[in-house]
Amino acid sequence: MPWQRRWRVDSRETWQRIIAALREFEIDFARNPLEIIVREEYVDKSVEQRGLFHAVCEDAAAALGDRTPGEVKELAKQIYFGDDWRHHSTEDLTHEQYGMLIETLYRLLAGEGIVIPDRRQ
C-alpha cells in the first residue's frame, strides 16, 4: 500500500515545520511522484447530526402518512443531490453538507405546507 502523511495546520509555525519536514524527504520523484493536496480541514458529520436527520425523516414520514422514513430519506437525497442522486451516499457528506441535507428536508416539507417540529434547536 502506498504511504501517506497527513498534517493538521492550525498556525503559521506548524505550516513552517511541515514545509521543513517536506524538504527533508528523500524520494526518487522520477519513480515515485507525489501528489500534494491542500484544502480546508475536513469535518465529518457528527453522531448527533446523523440522529437528527433520521429523526426528521421519521417526523416527515408521520406527517406525510404515506411514506416510510427510508422513503423520505431517499426523497431528500433526490432533492439534495439532483438527477444523479443514486450515485451519491450521505455517508460521504461533511458536517456542513449534512447540515444542508437536513435543511433541504425542512424546506421541502415547508414548500408542501407540512409543518413538523424543528429539532435543530
Domain boundaries, the chain: 47-111
DSSP H helical ranges for the chain: 12-24, 47-64, 69-81, 95-111
pLDDT at 34: 83
Number of neighbours of residue 18 by Cβ within 10 angstroms? 14
Q: What is the pLDDT along the chain (121 residues), one digit of tens a residue?
A: 567 778 889 999 999 999 998 888 888 889 888 888 888 887 788 889 999 999 999 999 999 999 999 999 999 999 999 988 888 888 888 888 999 999 999 999 999 999 999 998 7
What pLDDT, on the 0 to 100 scale, is given for residue 27? 82
Tell me what pLDDT residue 111 has: 93
Per-residue pLDDT, 2: 67
Report the pLDDT value the prediction gives residue 6, as an integer from 0 to 100. Answer: 80
Closest CA to 91 of 52, 45, 40, 39: 45
